[in-house]
Amino acid sequence: MALPVTYLFVPGNRPERFAKAIASGAGAVIIDLEDAVAPSDKAAARDAIAEFCAADRGRAASLLVRINDAATPWFEADLEFVRRSQVGGLMLPKAEDASQIERAGAALARGGNLIPIVESARGLLNVDALAEAPRVQRLAFGLSRVPHRAGFARRRHRLSDRRRHTRNRRRSEVALGSRVRARVRL
């Protein structure tokens, strides 16, 4: 299986866009239950995605869903939704250790893949373990969130050469861990 080159995100509470996204020709379609959906709309979004998937199981197997992270009150409901809908893969935000990935992976149907998103200092420190976890296809780097979650102050001005170098080094570590350890190769 070749890795997708392009990913198209669609808000989970916009079911009228799901089929259009699949028809777009993107390498992979990711239906977003995390940031794109307000807390009050998350249950309805899960229902809309499940209905869409139930109409065509083959189509469901081609979708990825970005679920809510393990520290949120929606994580367990998202995992139950994944078990029922049998989507092809997950994006797991704020991945920090392999146990989170194993829990999420257990909800996937056979052959389903995971893309953990590294968005914290702990995730960066554990990048090798994240990449080696079962079902990981590749890693993603939440570039804009890592410095803030790692305790560094946000600055509105341009990055200094040193900060740019640090950011690029961390991004490279995630890319290297993903490339060397992930199950699917380019």
Topology (CATH) of 7-181: TIM Barrel (3.20.20)
Range in 26-30, 91-95, 159-163 with the lowest mean pLDDT: 159-163
Give pLDDT tens digits for 105-137. Answer: 999 999 999 999 999 889 988 988 999 999 999
Which of 33-41's residues contact partners 24+ apart within 8 Å by CB, and which partners? Answer: 33/65, 33/66, 33/67, 33/68, 33/74, 33/78, 34/66, 34/67, 34/68, 34/69, 34/93, 36/9, 36/10, 36/11, 36/12, 37/11, 37/12, 37/13, 38/13, 39/74, 41/13
Report domain extents, the chain.
7-181
**Percentage above 70 pLDDT, the chain:** 77
The whole-number average pLDDT for the span 157-183 is 66
The whole-number average pLDDT for the span 73-84 is 96
* pTM score, whole prediction: 0.83
The whole-number average pLDDT for the span 59-80 is 94
